[in-house]
Structure 1
Amino acid sequence: MITKENILATAKKTILSESEAITKLATYLDENFSKAVQSIFESKGRLIVTGIGKSAIIAQKMVATFNSTGTPSLFLHASEAIHGDLGMVQKEDVIICISKSGNSPEIKVLVPLLTRFGNTLIGMTGNMTSFLAKGSTYVLNTTVDAEACLINLAPTNSTTAQLVMGDALAVCLMELRDFKAEDFAVYHPGGALGKKLLLRVKNMIEHSLKPMVSPEDSVKKAIFEISEKRLGVTAVIENNIVIGIITDGDVRRMLNDRDSIADLTAREIMTKNPKMVTSETMAVEALNILEDFSITQLIVTDNGEYKGVLHLHDILKEGIV
């Protein structure tokens, strides 16, 4: 009988089985791993990652991770390699070949071909006595005791181990390359992630209006300026320097406190020392300031020069939240 309890029990058993396989993976790390990382790092060529079946899918994910973290990589399907695609392999390339058994027919054909030009071959396998292991320059041990599936056939623990070993390689290479967030942004210019890493305040205020009044202007003029520019705020400028701001909130509070505003000036109701950023400030940093102070606008200045107003809506429209 299928019950919620049975389903959850199987799911937990699978997760625990895979987590145990990963934990054991750490004990297999040795000099082969460090030398493999060093050979990739020092290579003047690319990193070629190949495999067949489910291992080929893992290889594709590894290539995506390597490429996005500064290690130029290509995917080579093991079965296609022996039908012409070996032409993509150049003499200075380092090759990772992934196979759980290390003894599949395709692997036995491919390994001698991959090493015929003296390329460094890194074998990733769960069989340390396999054809792949014996033919590799360095061997990464991804042995698992069993698969997580009930019949011990579907690649589960083994592919997870391969995936984690690939991530370990990528992270080590990132550290060797001193790979920073700015570098990551270069490879991820699109979408919310790219915008978080690349978008600056100047990119959002290029065509924005610049509401402003002088400190001696009437409150009425300040209200008109706020309404006309539709940013909910106006800067108060004296000698080309921002000395304060008036928000629509300031106006509402003033109207609650006073019966007449005829004689009031902008200086009398402005908020001094407003929160400001420069045009070079990262958009995500500006967003943090807005959230920290529970405000919706920031004055933008460069070397004291008033550049405009950044509104929370400008950031929201970019989709980085």
Structure 2
Amino acid sequence: MDTLKNIILSTARQTIEIEAATLQDLRNSLDEGFVATVEAIYAATGRVILTGIGKSAIIAQKIVATLNSTGTPAIFLHAADAIHGDLGMIQVQDVVICLSKSGETPEIKVLVPLIKNLGTMLIGMVSNKDSYLAKQAQFILHTPIDREADPNNLAPTASTTAQMAMGDALATSLCALRGFSPKDFAQFHPGGSLGKQLYLRVSDLYTHNARPMVDPATGIKRTILEITSKRLGATAVVDTDEKVLGIVTDGDLRRMLERLDNWTDVCAQDIMSVHPKTIFAHAMAVHALEIMRKYSISQLLVVDEEEKYVGVVHLHDLIREGIV
């Protein structure tokens, strides 16, 4: 059993070590050629088309997704499909990035002359600089590979790791050149939790909740009913102008019961927490979460620009939207 455990751990650790070394070699290989390639893609007026065969095709699809999500329009074209009718999707103003570890794959050798005949810019992402693809491409994204990470040095492992990292480096470099902002990112990711952190505001949340509210002289029974009926675990205490004076929470009620034997004459102002945490309606929802986490609370009173009480945002609202 120990022998089996040792085989598993040593193999896994060796794999990670080989791939880590591959990434370090990739980092050290970045030079003026990489800069020129990024600048050429940035200056192009068309799309970035990524193509490949086998595992390289799978990596190409991931790079396409990353480019699209960071502001560079990209599409995937399988190398086998390209030579069987799909070549028509390539336009002269596009940029084609062809992924191949060896640069000698038969499908790639067929595809490369067809791309060049279209007058389209060809970039080779290749490990072998002396390969057919490298010699035919106008630009090279070199992904040096000493060996694959599997015990037989055969399965695409370290080479695909290098390709994926090169794709990320390309996408992030273009992202920086385009001045791609968090607002732009949110536009391309409106349905995910990352996007919601960047565009969802408190005003998108609190309007769906009730607005529990009492004045300072409201009796304890009526205060409890207000908290219970509005189902937010608290009520705001406001003045005649609806400015926040305090908050009464479930916790305040429990502490009152622990402290007092007779509470029939108690009113809201006797037990409220003064200077409660508030947030502006226009604030980002993620900021509301930061405040809740910092002070270990589950709701915030929401105020408008005139600091009038307008509602409550609850931790459950943030959970429901996937912010947490």
Pairwise CA RMSD: 1.6
Q: Deviation per CA, 1:78-132: give whole Å up to 9, x if none.
A: 1111111111111111111111111222111211211223322111111111111
Query: Partner residue of 2:291?
Result: 289
Query: Partner residue of 1:24?
Result: 25
**Distance in structure 2 (CA, Å) of the matches to 1:269 and 1:14:** 62
- Alignment-mate amino acid for residue 77 of structure 1: H
Query: Partner residue of 1:84?
Result: 85
**Distance in structure 1 (CA, Å) of the matches to 2:184 and 2:85:** 34
Cα distance, 1:282 vs structure 2: 2.1
Cα distance, 1:256 vs structure 2: 2.3
Q: Deviation per CA, 1:260-296: give whole Å up to 9, x if none.
A: 3343332232211110112222222211111110111
Matched, 1:64 2:65: yes
Cα distance, 1:194 vs structure 2: 3.2
Using a 3 Å threshold, how does the CA distance of structure 1 residues 7 and 259 change in structure 2: closer, same or farther?
Answer: closer
Cα distance, 1:70 vs structure 2: 0.8
Query: Partner residue of 1:176?
Result: 177
Matched, 1:232 2:233: yes
Using a 3 Å threshold, how does the CA distance of structure 1 residues 48 and 219 change in structure 2: closer, same or farther?
Answer: same
**Distance in structure 1 (CA, Å) of the matches to 2:27 and 2:251:** 58
SS in 2 for 1:287: helix
Query: Partner residue of 2:323?
Result: 320
Cα distance, 1:246 vs structure 2: 1.2
Matched, 1:74 2:65: no
Count of residues paired in the alignment: 321
**Distance in structure 2 (CA, Å) of the matches to 1:7 and 1:220:** 65
Query: Partner residue of 1:117?
Result: 118
- Alignment-mate amino acid for residue 261 of structure 2: D
- Alignment-mate amino acid for residue 311 of structure 1: H
Q: Which of structure 1's runs of 4+ aligned residues deviate more than 6 A? A: none
Cα distance, 1:172 vs structure 2: 0.7
SS in 1 for 2:194: helix
- Alignment-mate amino acid for residue 248 of structure 1: D
Q: Which moved more, 1:7-16 or 1:213-222?
A: 213-222
SS in 1 for 2:24: helix
SS in 2 for 1:103: coil
Query: Partner residue of 1:203?
Result: 204
**Distance in structure 1 (CA, Å) of the matches to 2:156 and 2:24:** 18
- Alignment-mate amino acid for residue 177 of structure 1: R
SS in 2 for 1:3: helix
Cα distance, 1:240 vs structure 2: 2.1
SS in 2 for 1:20: helix
SS in 1 for 2:150: coil
SS in 1 for 2:265: coil
- Alignment-mate amino acid for residue 261 of structure 1: W
Q: Deviation per CA, 1:127-157: give whole Å up to 9, x if none.
A: 1111111111111111212212222221111
**Distance in structure 1 (CA, Å) of the matches to 2:132 and 2:250:** 75
Matched, 1:309 2:317: no
- Alignment-mate amino acid for residue 9 of structure 2: L
**Distance in structure 1 (CA, Å) of the matches to 2:153 and 2:221:** 78
- Alignment-mate amino acid for residue 264 of structure 1: V
Q: Deviation per CA, 1:162-212: give whole Å up to 9, x if none.
A: 111111101111111222222222222224333333322222222211111
Taking structure 1 as the reference length, what is the TM-score of the superposition? 0.95
- Alignment-mate amino acid for residue 105 of structure 1: P
- Alignment-mate amino acid for residue 144 of structure 2: T
Query: Partner residue of 1:215?
Result: 216
**Distance in structure 2 (CA, Å) of the matches to 1:184 and 1:79:** 33
